[in-house]
Structure 1
Amino acid sequence: MMTLLKQRSFRDLAYQAGFVGTLIAMVVTFAVTAAINLDAQGMTSGFGFLQRSTGWGVSFSLIPFDTSDTYLRVIWVGLLNSMFLGAISLTLATFIGVGIAIMRVSGNRMAGLIGTVYVEIFRNLPLLLQLFFWYAILTSLPQPRQAIDIAGVAFISGRGTYLPGLNVTGTSAFLCAIATCAAIGLAIWLNTARRFAHMSTGRKRASRQALWGGLVLLIVVLLLAGRIPDTPLLNVPYLKGLNFRDGVRISPELLACIIAISIYGGAYIGEIVRAGFNAVGKGQSEAGQALGLSTWQIFSRIRLPLAIRAVMPTLINQYVWLFKATTIGIAIGFVDFFFVISTSINQSGQTLELIAILMGGFLAINYSMAWVLNRVNDAIRLKGTQLRG
């Protein structure tokens, strides 16, 4: 025994086993204590409540839901709503951030001043305060009868923004979204992966054209196949009585969350991307000029790719943070993942189980997003041998 204790490998293993054993004992003690306390209060533990009917409805859902549906379905509704809000907000924040970064490094004093003012204002105001500000503006817009008319096909009012929609099944719309995301991913892979570095420009252009052409054809086929029978493909909203009918309604709560997160996140992403632009040496642009490349070609093929490579790890952290910021929607009543969990706790009393579901959901989403983006970062980053010469 003394011989084993003198071996460093054995001692390290013993320390690790003791640490893990202590953690397991603490978890088991916590679980047993919680179960005893719940039994003393007459509360049942477990996840059987997920199959019970909620008895309450939600104001926004991407899938059909009514008061007779189960807690499991309402949690799924909240999760889908959060992912929907996150996908739109993060995409818009990225475009805004890249645009602000370009303005700040463009060399144009007016554009640089506008970009600086934008960053200093929206980065330094609390996100929750910005949410309340945009929500107050949206709910103060005219009523439907006096709604702002946009070309007779879209309307903006205090009850929501009404846009043309498609009379297609949810499955068809979901498949179209998946196909679009897959096409964008393939396009990024084609442009950045090292295995395509030696492909000729003409062949790359033909591949991109085939990719986007195939995507358009696939979307058209999916929409026509998924069209609801005896209805027109395009569904335009119209005023009837005191409100609009048909079309797609974007509630003030959803729109306020999208605007607040996009603008706030765009300020941070703008600074991150600007740092990436500043990290690209002037020699790279001068080399492009020497080769006869235009200003746009130098930007799109040299400066922007190198800047994204430099700041990709920081951008991943920012995306994860921004997705967690979608929980602010509960402050104005948007039905997101956090909202339905909070309401379910109040209605069912299953606090521990629902908090565990909330934590597990956010861990799964954020880890999946970070894993995918880290794989992208691994594919586009410059290796040590590529930095020499």
Structure 2
Amino acid sequence: MARRPFDLLRDTKVRAVIYQAATVLLVVLVAAWLADNTLTNLAKRGITAGFDFLARSARFPISESLLPYKPTDSFAWAFVVGLGNTLMLGAIIAVAATALGMVVALARRSANPLAAGVSTLFVEALRNTPLVVQLLFWYAAVTVGLPNVHAALDPAPGVHLSDRGLNLPALSLAHGELLALVAVLGVAAIVIATRVGRAASARSGRLHRYGLITAAAVAGGLMLIAILTGVGIEDPRLGRFNFVGGATLTPELVALLLGLILYSAAFIGEIIRGGIEAVGRGQWEAGRAMGLSDRQTLRLVIMPQALRVIIPPMTSQYINIVKNTTLALVVGYPEIASVTATTINQTGQALEGIVILMSVFLTLSLAASLFMNWYNRRVALVQR
């Protein structure tokens, strides 16, 4: 006998599909209403929507950047330059904060009362103080008492310290783009050679150092290319308003790195300490019974087990590090949020600028999460 329509509603699977379809339809309708309302309000104010402005000349300076930039470059390239600064900040802060966090975690577990007390004070002070306040403190600390560029301190030949930063001699390369390309290809070759070497070692039972050999070959190749194409040392020289040439470590970058590294290290230290504490004391005793030192026990026995507890919260912490780089606005460092704010002021394309900024940080956060989840699966216990 055929089932009546009302009988289908009694099926839980059918009702689940109906509820999900209704929810999706409601979300689509709300999104369509918001888009139509936004476009209507923009049209009333004579503001055109779209991303055509990205091809126009930006016509604003970026004080420091990892990638080359001129005010005549497009808004699109300005966003790329800001993204490059954000990625550089995120990488440096994540590595440095992890290393410092490990030291803090071990110090808090130390039997030495001075080490444990100092590390506890470090963690409690930084975790319970607003990050913005810390950034302002470090910016004031690195700029107080420094002279202007015309009265700069010269602690060493070619080194100048002023309120504009620390100016240092730098390598001058005739074909830096070629070296960068070779370096990227070399890193890829090292990764492949390392994997091939591990597979060969597993098959033969002998150690194959293909990765180390490839790394030495890449380093030698980069040095040879640099020598053949021309390499020299460029000293900074005083211009009309600032030093030009060489390398510059600005107060904004130093304050930002100090603030974010120390703040992140306080949280990471507690995550690592919690992971170590989660491993039973019997594991320490077993390591000592086997004749291992405490350092060897920590490296070979404790940390491989602690990583399974450490990695999930560390994923959230690394994502927070990426998002916290937007506070560079406080000290005036030009990362992507700063570039976005300037672009919105120049063009009035607020909606498009915010969409770009949200898309960038969503992509970075998802990439960090995917990488950490992949690593978590690699160190997870294999269930049989």
TM-score by length of 1: 0.86
Q: Is the Cα contact below 8 Å between 2:307 and 2:379 reproduced in 1?
A: no
Instruction: Give the structure 2 partner of residue 351 of structure 1.
Output: 350
Displacement of 1:294 in angstroms is 2.6
Contact persistence 2:168–2:236 (CA under 8 A): no
Deviates more, 1:305-314 or 1:268-277: 305-314
- The one-letter amino acid of 2:143's match is T
Q: Is the 8 A contact 1:329 1:335 kept in 2?
A: yes
Query: Where do 5+ consecutive residues of structure 1 fail to align?
Result: none
Distance 2:329 2:69 in 1: 19
Q: Aligned partners of 2:294, 2:333: CA distance in 1, in Å?
A: 44
- Tell me, what secondary structure is at the counterpart of 2:68? coil
Map of 1:31-70 to 2, 5 A cutoff?
31-70=35-74
Assess if the C-alpha contact under 8 Å between 1:51 and 1:70 holds in 2: yes
Aligned to 1:267: 266
Deviation at 1:120, TM superposition (A): 1.6
- The structure-2 alpha-carbon separation of the partners of 1:49 and 1:228, relative to structure 1 and needing over 3 Å to count, comes to farther
User: Does structure 2 retain, via aligned residues, the 8 Å contact 1:280–1:303?
Assistant: yes
Which residue does the alignment assign to 1:222?
Answer: 222
Runs of 5+ unmatched residues, structure 2: none
C-alpha contact 2:315 2:369 (8 A) present in aligned 1? yes
SS of corresponding position for 1:66 = coil
Query: RMSD over aligned Cα, in angstroms?
Result: 3.0
Is the Cα contact below 8 Å between 1:153 and 1:164 reproduced in 2?
yes
Give the paired residue count. Answer: 374
Percent identity of equivalent pairs: 33
C-alpha change, 1:183 and 1:297, in structure 2 (3 Å) is farther
The Cα shift of 1:52 comes to 1.0
Shift of the alpha carbon at 1:8? 2.1
Assess, with a 3 A threshold, how the Cα gap between structure 1 residues 134 and 274 changes in structure 2: closer, same or farther.
same
2:318 and 2:201 map into 1 onto residues whose CA distance is 28
- The change in CA–CA distance for 1:212 and 1:250 in structure 2 (over 3 A counts) is farther
Give the equivalent residue in structure 2 for 1:107: 111
Alignment of 1:172-183 (within 5 A): 172-173=179-180, 176=183
* CA–CA separation in structure 2 for the residues paired with 1:314 and 1:178: 33
Q: 1:280 to 1:142 in 2, by over 3 A?
A: farther
CA contact (8 A) 2:268 2:314 kept: yes
CA distance in 2 between partners of 1:8 and 1:171 (Å): 63
2:290 maps to 291
What is the rounded CA distance, in whole Å, between the counterparts of 1:178 and 1:153 in structure 2?
A: 33
1:12 has 2:29 as partner: no
- What are the superposed Cα offsets for residues 280-310 of structure 1, whole Å, 9 maximum, x if unpaired? 2121122222222233211221222322222
Note closer, same or farther for the CA distance 1:339–1:240 as it changes in structure 2 (3 Å cut). Answer: closer
C-alpha deviation, 1:196, in angstroms: 11
1:186-205 map, 5 Å = 203=207
Structure 1 position 138 matched with structure 2 position 157: no
Match of 1:166? 171
Q: Is the 8 A contact 1:35 1:45 kept in 2?
A: yes
Report the alpha carbon displacement of residue 218 of structure 1 after superposing the two structures with TM: 1.1
Equivalent position of 2:153 in the other structure:
147
Q: 1:121 aligns with which of 106, 112, 125?
A: 125
What is the CA deviation profile of residues 5-52 of structure 1, one whole-angstrom value per residue up to 9, with x for unaligned ones? 232222211111111011111111111111111111111111111111
Check 1:156–1:114 CA distance in 2 against 1; reply closer, same or farther (3 A cut). farther
Paired position in structure 1 for 2:162: 157
Question: What SS is found at the alignment partner of 1:50?
Answer: helix
1:84 matched to which residue of 2? 88
